[in-house]
Structure 1
Amino acid sequence: MRSAACERLIAVLKTPRQAEALDLAGWSELVASARAANLAGLLAERVAAAGITAPPEATRHLEAIRQLSRRQTQSVRWEVHGLQRALCCLGIPLVLLKGAAYAVSDHPVGRGRLFGDIDILVPRHTLGDVELRLMVAGWASAKTSPYDQRYYRRWMHELPPMVNVRRGTVLDVHHTILPLTSRHAPQAETIIRAASALPDLPAVRIPRPEHLLVHSIVHLLHEGELHNGLRDLFDIDGLLRAGAGEADFWPRVVEASRTLDVVAPVAFGLHLARHLLDSPIPPQVIEDLFNAAGGPASRLLTMLYTTALRPENEAAESAAATLARFAIYVRAHWLRMPPHLLLRHLAHKSIVRLRKDEPATDGRA
């Protein structure tokens, strides 16, 4: 069971007017929970949009986070222009994912969002040329050990993370949306072909709304690390609410989940959004997806995510949340790799950490 502070944060984000009943201590707790969940920017935007007057102490924090979010959005857009300059000569589509897509397309989900890195998707056969052009433009691999390089290039859905040597910006170059060893095998070409071009950035593309949603769900349910899990769930809720205004949105979501071979995770992701955030999803959509996936939502998995999706400060103090997160972490690894590769990978990570003579192989794997 989640704490009263977590429930209040979710309730205020869903219905901002509830914040009007809070005293100064309540506002302090609310802002602290939002910061711990990486949702302070979203809280600030929704409080401002609702015209709510917060105490001066809370207002200072919320306004500061709004300004930080806007500066980060500008920085992401500036970086995307740089990626356009670096890669346009290749004549390939450069598809933005997640936060970068929201920022550049001015999607409602991007308002108030804070960014950790930039994610792009390119055709797999172009990876060598893309990596070379990025290196020329000042990007370098953040992973230096031979094992890390082999791990990403042979098994994962992306190159090793790249860092700009001048600005420290982190770039993840994807060639698909799930590891090559995953039990699901989405074809990234489907997302790339359907993506929309931007008028002022000829090489840059934004995925279709249903593909943004599917990728956000798949990311949450396969990542294993949930420090931004509640934020990611609110991303999903925002994508659902924005897309639901289109007459054919739900049939496209169902078709995209089937085409990309991710029916089961999409079904559970939609179930989770409705269960935890009351997201407006037609029951028939979820029922059809679960029927196609071969069974109803797992009660155990629902319980684990309900327990695990909470702000970091609260999760760190809860034994139940710690256990739930560990179970989800193990499950994510099981989905990402077959048993023999998983055992080999985890054994290597354990040896490296015991020796402490080189960095851990991959904090997310």
Structure 2
Amino acid sequence: MRLGSHRKLHLAAVCTLMRRALGLSLEKRELGCLERAEPRRLIKIASGHAIVNLLAGATEDPAIANCLDPDVVAFLDLMQDRNGARNAAFTAQLQEIGGILRDARIEAVALKGATELICRTYPRATDRLLGDLDILVPQGAIGDAVAALEASGYSTHGAVASPDSLHAPRLWHEAHPAAVEIHHALSRGRGVEILDPAQILRASTATRGCLLRVPALADRLCHLIVHAQMNHGRYQSRFLFLRDVADLQALSTRATAPTWTEVSARFAGAQAAPMLDAFLVAAFGVLQTPLPLATTPEAASWAEKAMFLLRRPEIHRCNYLFAMSRHYLGRFVSDQAARRRYLRYIRCSATLRDFVNQHVASVRDYQ
């Protein structure tokens, strides 16, 4: 079997399991890929897309479990159990942070995975894998929020946020598992028009039993798509992250036609409709569910290329490295503050080593 075909088989198996875990129905013919999939390759792809714990939900279906190696079923169950314990610890930490910010009289809104801990949209509490806890506060309150957390034992370990950062330096607490990012903004460029922090704070709602507020559903959808397409250059590199697809399906179960109309209008108003269309066509194509909005033929072309790159990750890796190199070179040329910071890293090996080690540690913790 050729490399591309091998990858296609295992990607199909992962997507099949993901769809079933999210509560979508399957046809019997779709189960064949599960019987032929090699356990190590299947787990590797699922882990790379941060959904390995989610897939355990699919094995609740006996037809699915019977198609998989028993060791795979046991491994997925173990990952689900461990993520359940991890999410419980994250939830307790989030509640404590909510109390700290409440006592400091700071209004705060949970974001992304942290919102899922408070207001669940996935079928199971163990389904969503989190990397950290993201929290939005008013821009004028970010210093007070960081100070309140530091007074409660959190530390940035000397890190300093870059001038264009969307959040304060990451905060860590030796007694808690998650890093905390206190945001004052959620995107740059056109994304700012879609995700106005002040509007998100105003539209957020309180949730019974939690000291943090949650964003409106339209804001959650917009944040997901902006983060998926704009914040890390994935639209340009045509990269589709399967956890983003799973998040979209979970949120879509709560979305109404007016919700989607609002999302569409916000992207159109920011001249970013192609990014929205492309993500929806690709994601709902993987899910094999109807599109909630009319899209353009160009979106189908983007989705086709994104699926090709999912099957050929080595090509995407080269494209991604090239895009990142171009991004940082552009920053070096056009941004004086960034240029000084990069030169400081280059001149001081200890600073550069600390910078690299911090990012490597973050990735390893997430994995």
- Structure 1 residues 117 and 347: alpha-carbon distance in aligned structure 2, compared to 1, 3 A threshold: same
Aligned length: 336
Q: Quick one: distance in 2 between partners of 1:177 and 1:236?
A: 18
Kept in 2, the 8 Å contact 1:41–1:69? The answer is yes
**Range 223-232 or range 265-274, more displaced:** 223-232
Q: Give the Å deviation of 1:85.
A: 1.5
**RMSD value, Cα:** 3.5
- Structure 1 residues 339 and 205: alpha-carbon distance in aligned structure 2, compared to 1, 3 A threshold: farther
Paired residue for 1:293?
A: none
Paired residue for 1:9?
A: 14
Q: Give the Å deviation of 1:47.
A: 2.5
For 1:59-100, what per-residue CA distance to the aligned partner results, in whole angstroms no more than 9, with x for missing partners?
220110110121122112101110121111233321111111
Q: Quick one: distance in 2 between partners of 1:63 and 1:44?
A: 5
Instruction: Mark the runs of 5 or more structure 2 residues left unpaired by the alignment.
Output: 21-25, 363-367
Paired residue for 2:365?
A: none
**Range 19-28 or range 43-52, more displaced:** 19-28
- Structure 1 residues 303 and 64: alpha-carbon distance in aligned structure 2, compared to 1, 3 A threshold: same
Kept in 2, the 8 Å contact 1:307–1:321? The answer is no
Q: Percent identity?
A: 19
Q: Give the Å deviation of 1:334.
A: 9.2
**Is 1:94 aligned to 2:87, yes or no?**
no
Paired residue for 2:147?
A: 132
- Structure 1 residues 239 and 278: alpha-carbon distance in aligned structure 2, compared to 1, 3 A threshold: same
Question: Structure 1 residue aligned with 2:186, among 158, 174, 177?
Answer: 177
- Structure 1 residues 116 and 252: alpha-carbon distance in aligned structure 2, compared to 1, 3 A threshold: same
Q: Quick one: distance in 1 between partners of 2:120 and 2:15?
A: 24
**Is 1:329 aligned to 2:324, yes or no?**
yes
TM-score (norm 1): 0.78
Q: Which amino acid aligns with 1:114?
A: L
Q: Give the Å deviation of 1:117.
A: 0.5
Q: Quick one: distance in 1 between partners of 2:205 and 2:116?
A: 13
**Is 1:155 aligned to 2:164, yes or no?**
yes
Question: Structure 2 residue aligned with 1:79, among 87, 93, 100?
Answer: 93
Identify, as 1 or 2, the structure richer in strand. 1
Q: Give the Å deviation of 1:302.
A: 4.9
TM-score (norm 2): 0.77
Paired residue for 2:23?
A: none
Q: Give the Å deviation of 1:173.
A: 0.7
Q: Give the Å deviation of 1:309.
A: 4.4
**Is 1:254 aligned to 2:264, yes or no?**
yes
For 1:250-269, what per-residue CA distance to the aligned partner results, in whole angstroms no more than 9, with x for missing partners?
21322443577754533332
Q: Give the Å deviation of 1:43.
A: 0.9
Instruction: Mark the runs of 5 or more structure 1 residues left unpaired by the alignment.
Output: 291-295
